[in-house]
């Protein structure tokens, strides 16, 4: 099968939308990626490269990259990343290096849906 060229995905589409006011406490990014099972290795390599950038930014706390157990999940890979504050999160997404990374040609085949959250309840 020949691979179709995907439409370009801008850097803005790789940034979680803002709320009415900036969150001062910790925030959690839940970023869901569309990846065909056959393209897992390509996604994983690209994601690893991009995540190295984020891990080194001020205010980064932790991340967990998840892979769905069922291959027909609409978003098979999901990254859950905690940041100290929304300001730190936004700063990491406002650099030229971020834009260069997420507009790399390889990313166009992996649409994502980044959403920023606050933790309401924590147990265990």
Which residues sit at the interface with its own copies, rule CB under 8 A?
A: 16-20, 23, 27-28, 30, 44, 48, 51, 55, 60-75, 77-78, 80, 82, 86, 113, 115-124
- Number of neighbours of residue 115 by Cβ within 10 angstroms: 11
Chain length of the chain? 124
Q: How far is the CB of 20 from its own copies (least distance, A)?
A: 8
φ, ψ at 31 (rounded to 5°): -115, 120
Among residues 5 and 16, whose Cβ is nearest to its own copies? 16
Q: Are 110 and 34 in contact (CB under 8 A)?
A: yes
Q: How far is the CB of 106 from its own copies (least distance, A)?
A: 18
Q: How far is the CB of 39 from its own copies (least distance, A)?
A: 14
Please list, residue by residue across 79-94, b when 16 or more beta carbons sit within 10 angstroms of its beta carbon and e when fewer do: bebbbebbebbbebbe
Q: How far is the CB of 115 from its own copies (least distance, A)?
A: 5
Among residues 11 and 40, whose Cβ is nearest to its own copies? 40
Closest C-alpha to 27, from 108, 86, 70:
86
Among residues 11 and 78, whose Cβ is nearest to its own copies? 78
């Amino acid at each position: 099968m020949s691979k179709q060229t995907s439409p370009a995905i801008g850097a803005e589409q790789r940034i979680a939308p803002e709320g009415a006011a900036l969150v001062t406490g910790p925030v959690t990014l839940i970023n869901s990626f569309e990846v065909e099972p056959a393209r897992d290795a390509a996604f994983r390599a690209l994601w690893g490269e991009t995540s190295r950038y984020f891990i080194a930014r001020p205010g980064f706390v932790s991340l967990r990259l998840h892979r769905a157990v069922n291959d027909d999940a609409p978003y098979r890979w999901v990254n859950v990343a905690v940041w100290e504050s929304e300001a730190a999160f936004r700063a990491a997404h406002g650099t030229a290096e971020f834009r260069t990374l997420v507009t790399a040609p390889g990313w166009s085949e992996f649409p994502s849906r980044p959403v920023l959250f606050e933790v309401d309840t924590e147990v265990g």
